[in-house]
Amino acid sequence: MSAGIHVPRLAMSVLFAASTVTVAVGAKDLTQSTCSSVAFRGFDTRLDATLLARVDLRGSAVTGFEVAGGKPLIAFEHRLVGVDGARLLSMPSVDKIDGLAVDASGVVLVQSGTRVRRLTKEKLEPVRTLAEGTRLHNSGNVAFLQSQRQGGTTLLTDDAREGVSPLRIDGAAIGSATWNSVGLAVAAGDTLIAWTAGSQAVTRLRRDEGLRSARDVNLIAPDRAVVALPGTLALVTDRGIAPLALISARARWANDALYVLDETLGVVWKVSGLEKLGTAASDKAHVRSILTKVPPNAAETDPRFLEAARILGCEGARAARSKAR
């Protein structure tokens, strides 16, 4: 990232148009792209989703979700829960946990207000104190980042003050930001910003009014990101938005896979195969494949038709179904 990279003030215009077959609607309306009151809510059937664990989410809000050494780690307000194979490991915290950050070596830092503690096998060990209003970010990169809001500007800087030059975002406040091994993804207002490690330019990957409600963003390739919206997990590219599942979730990209925490059911998934989604050719081929398996007299509540409708929209799925007969 070159020194002093500046993302100009973000305009608040709306973009809902579908530029490729990947997009039926804008991000704000993804959950409405069904042909009946029944929706296909599961993972896209091209994906390989492996259930890793079930976690009791009752009684406490989730405040962080990261992957350290290939093992998912969930932060609640006053406890940490780690997934280690079939085991769930728990550690209490007297201080309220505001967030987690994990570097490439697996070091886990826990933030509570301005206090930062390091997770060890036995305890949470105090490390240092941050400036008021500063947030620590890392989801598998070598360096930690800090973000701080100063007036109408958000400044992201290398926590060690070396290696990564400052990124300044003027105007819209950051809704979500993730810094992983691929690079930086930031949802700022209605814009998804991406920066890939080693690049000299910041990319505006997508603009859509629905991005204002992004709860999680993850860069998985220079031109592809996974965004968690209310009730929807979606793949976002410069060409469109494709729903992965209709769930309320947190997600992290690590070890070439997407780790997902379903915040409704308390299920942790490891999802691979995202490279199969997000292009016009692959989406059309998948829709043709699943619609040939729909019986001629089946209602539009058939799960295969509903999955096609989630990709193409209702009218597109109907037209494709007619051709598939």
Is 288 within a domain?
no
Report, as an integer, the average pLDDT of 47-66.
94
Q: How far apart are CA 49 and CA 268, in angstroms?
A: 10
DSSP string, 60-120: S-EEEEEEETTEEEEEETTEEEEEETTEEEEEE-SSPP-EEEE-TT--EEEEETTEEEEE-
Q: What is the pLDDT of residue 18?
A: 26
Residue 43 lies in a domain: no
Residue 114's CATH number: 2.120.10.30
Mean pLDDT on 31-35: 50
pLDDT tens digits, one per residue of 120-166 = 988 999 999 999 999 999 999 998 999 888 777 888 888 765 555 56
Element (H, E) at 50: strand 48-54
- Spatial separation of the C-alpha atoms in residues 117 and 93, rounded to whole Å: 11
pLDDT (0 to 100) of residue 169 = 81
Q: Does a structural domain hold residue 304?
A: no
**Angle at the Cα of 269 from the Cα atoms of 263 and 274, rounded to 5 degrees:** 110
Q: In this structure, is residue 215 part of a structural domain?
A: yes
CA 278, 279, 282, 283 torsion-angle sign: positive
Report pTM. Answer: 0.86
| Structure confidence at residue 28 as a pLDDT band (50, 70, 90) | very low
| Domain with 202 in it | 5-17+57-276
Flag whether pLDDT at 38 surpasses 80.
no
Assess whether pLDDT exceeds 50 at residue 68: yes
Count: domains in the chain: 1
245-301: per-residue pLDDT in tens?
Answer: 999 999 999 999 999 999 999 999 999 999 999 888 888 899 999 999 999 888 888
Least confident piece of the model among 4-8, 171-175, 302-306 = 4-8
225 within domain boundaries: yes
pLDDT at 45: 95
Q: Percentage of the chain surpassing pLDDT 70?
A: 87
Tokens of 150: 């100063």
Q: Which residue has the higher pLDDT, 37 or 140?
A: 140
**Neighbouring C-beta atoms of residue 26, cutoff 10 Å:** 21
Residue 25 has pLDDT above 50, yes or no: no
For residue 137, tell me if it sits in a domain.
Answer: yes
Cβ contact 21:237 at 8 Å: no
Q: Is residue 40 part of a domain?
A: no
Inside any domain, residue 75: yes
pLDDT confidence bin for 37, thresholds 50/70/90: low
Of the ranges 20-24, 76-80, 92-96, 209-213, which one carries the lowest mean pLDDT score?
20-24
Question: What pLDDT shows up at residue 253?
Answer: 98
